[in-house]
Structure 1
Amino acid sequence: MENFNDLAAFAAVARERSFTRAAAKLRVSPSALSQTIRNLEERLGLRLLTRTTRSVASTEAGERLLRTIAPRFEEIEAELAALSELRDKPAGTVRITAGEHPAISILQPALKRFLPVYPDIEVEIIIDYGLTDIVSEGFDAGVRMGEQVAKDMIAVRIGPNMRMAVVASPAYFERYPIPGTPQDLTAHQCINIRLPTYGGIFAWGLEKDGREVKVRGEGQLVFNSLGMRLSSALEGLGVAYMPEDQVLPYIADGSLVRVLEDWCPSFPGYHLYYPSRRQQSPALALLADVLRYRGD
């Protein structure tokens, strides 16, 4: 079993590229650490580190060994940290990347219930329309549509199926004819969306009887903000393509008129996702459970 200690010692030296810094981290003397590495090299019959008076570098064998063992030690450390957190009440920061719509419609209402119960947990939500790499960017979790979640991630459904709605104000439709088909939208002032994941202007996806149509209408306004698209539609500046839940109250009170409703089928809703190979913190586990969709 002492071989594991030797491997951990090697990993520390290889990552720090210094016996002195690695020894300080491991709380041993540089000479004792150097002897540990020599013993490991002798047992393996391979030279793992090249030492000079100024630096330490891994050999080819050392680099290969480091690539193999470093992730394992990181996983063990993460597991131990997670276990230690269980001794106390849940605490810490949970960082989540999400689009504006799920942040407003799902995360924010859940946090109203969650945060008062767990006062030592902090939640940081970064609004980002890109398909962020949550591991490299240091996020604990992300929120995406169900079909956008990578297969190597754990996904927790946090919302119902969704629909979009094509809407404009009554005043707008006094100036422009009500569209009967998706193609009619090309003659309208479309309030467009720019999303980095689609490389530019987002095409409105409409579907009926198995026929899919992508509409790229022209218009004077382009936003990446949900609120500005909604307010512009309410002000009569154009036709907007919006998540249904955001416009239903305005349709009900007559502030907006819905068109092409039969061209807007439902599709899979939002999922919280996080890496399957990383032990989730108790704080994230609790939040995921609160967010879990328990509807139809």
Structure 2
Amino acid sequence: MQREDLVDLNAFLTVAEEASFTRAAAKLGTSQSALSHTIRRLETRLGVRLLTRTTRSVAPTQAGERLLATLRPALESIGDELASLGELREKPAGVIRITASEHAACSVLWPALERILPNYPDIHVELDLNSGFTDIVAERFDAGVRLGEALAKDMIAVRIGPELRMAVVGAPAYFADRAHPLTPHDLSQHRCINMRLRSSGGFYAWELEKDGHALRVRVEGQVAFNSVEMIVTAALSGAGLGFVMENMVTEHLADGRLVRVLDDWCPSFAGYHLYYPSRRQPSAAFTVLVEALRFRG
């Protein structure tokens, strides 16, 4: 079937239902002469007359009635399917791929996903846990999560979490025979637990700041990990001082299993932001996710 067949058949159906070329032409947004030409073209192609024309009315012939019996349900079915496709376009559905650090996934992303996913069974989310910076366009991610909002000009940043703080912590057993460090320079006298960066392969320099004076301190110790969770575990065991997100050790600090030091050197900083290309046309599913993550505190 050619495209013009569908056009002609729809024209025939409209004329038959309106029983008038004038009314049918108005409904189709065409002229009466153009519509008459379309019907004649269809009849010529089929080799039968489909409509009986009089000065007062238009009625289908026997062949026309037979065609209408098949045509009506077929075109109604097509119309219903087109309507359902429109509903699907508006219905939140599809796969959303996000790259984020494990801490961001646990503290911000998963709590939101756990809340909304039961209400949207057609939304599927894939989280790629990576502490390094990822080119979300090249790697075909829908969005990424990072600290702060300083991003490339072609990216949109949406704040999805509160301000954060770091914390320098150690177990009471570690401090049993050691004095608490009072300044970042005192860290050279302590065993510290290093963080191996997966992105660069080097050790993370502890970023400390007080009264506008910022320091990046290289620390030393017996153990190093590329997992923040393992740093917390090692600190709890007394292996040394760890430098981690405050909210990862809140309970341990409250129950006395960890002790905080250098608190005045750990100011708050901008929290997590979801970022994605400004040229991206958000799907209904992506919009649902963004609104669920948007920080309103």
Q: Is TM (by shorter chain) over 0.5?
A: yes
SS at match of 1:167: strand
Letter in 2 for 1:126: D
Q: How does 1:38-57 map to 2 (within 5 A)?
A: none
Counterpart Cα distance in 1 of 2:200 and 2:165: 19
Q: Distance in 1 between matches of 2:90 and 2:290?
A: 19
Q: Which amino acid aligns with 1:221?
A: V
- How far 1:185 sits from its partner (Å)? 0.7
Deviations 1:111-138 (A, max 9, x none): 1101111011111001011110001101
1:224 corresponds to: 226
SS at match of 2:193: strand
Once residues 84 and 136 of structure 1 are traced to their aligned partners in structure 2, the CA distance between those partners, rounded to angstroms, is 30
Specify the SS of the correspondent of 1:90.
coil
Aligned-residue RMSD, C-alpha: 1.6
CA distance in 2, matches of 1:212, 1:206: 6
Amino acid aligned to 1:170: P
For the 8 Å contact 2:192–2:221, the answer to whether it is kept is yes
User: Are the counterparts in 2 of residues 86 and 282 from structure 1 also a CA contact under 8 Å?
Assistant: no
Counterpart CA distance in 1 for 2:248 and 2:168 is: 12
Change (3 A) 1:88 1:207: closer
CA contact (8 A) 2:91 2:284 kept: no
The answer to whether the aligner puts 1:122 opposite 2:119 as a matched pair is no
**CA distance, structure 2, for counterparts of residue 166 and residue 198 of structure 1:** 23
Structure 1 residues 283 and 188, CA, compared in 2 at 3 Å: closer, same or farther?
same
Residue of structure 2 equivalent to 1:235: 237
The alignment covers a number of residue pairs equal to 213
Give the match for residue 76 of structure 1: none
1:170 equivalent in structure 2: 172
Give the whole-Å Cα distance in 1 for the aligned partners of 2:230 and 2:87. Answer: 42
1:204 and 2:206 matched:
yes
Partners of 2:188 and 2:205 lie apart in 1 by 12
Is the CA contact 1:85–1:282 (under 8 Å) kept in the aligned structure 2? no
2:133 corresponds to:
131
Structure 1 residue runs without a partner (length 5+): 1-82
Tell me by how many angstroms 1:87 deviates.
Answer: 3.5
Structure 2: which 5+ residue stretches go unaligned?
1-84
% identity of equivalent residues: 61
TM-score by length of 1: 0.69
Structure 1 residues 153 and 85 mapped into 2: Cα distance closer, same or farther (>3 Å)? farther
- Asked which structure has the greater CA Rg, the reply is 2
For 1:263 and 1:247, the matched residues in 2 are separated by 17
